[in-house]
Amino acid sequence: MNQVQDKGATLEILNLPSLNGIQDDNLRRLLNNLIIELFKYTAENERKQICERQGIELAK
């Protein structure tokens, strides 16, 4: 992910307000990274729950 960001790529999420209105590059980068980390955390938790459910189903 850092390689992509180092090349100047940004994340645009269609159902969230745009960060383009933020003039401060550092603040925009910080918010962008925070959003990415939140989505990563959510995805990891969802994967854990799926694995737990599959384990319960296999045990039955």
DSSP assignment string, 14-34: TTS--STT---HHHHHHHHHH
State the average pLDDT over residues 20-24.
Answer: 84
The CA distance from 48 to 56, in Å, is: 12
Question: CB of 29 within 8 A of CB of 9?
Answer: no
Give me the pLDDT at residue 36, please.
Answer: 86
Give me the pLDDT at residue 38, please.
Answer: 92
Give the pLDDT band (50/70/90) at residue 17: confident
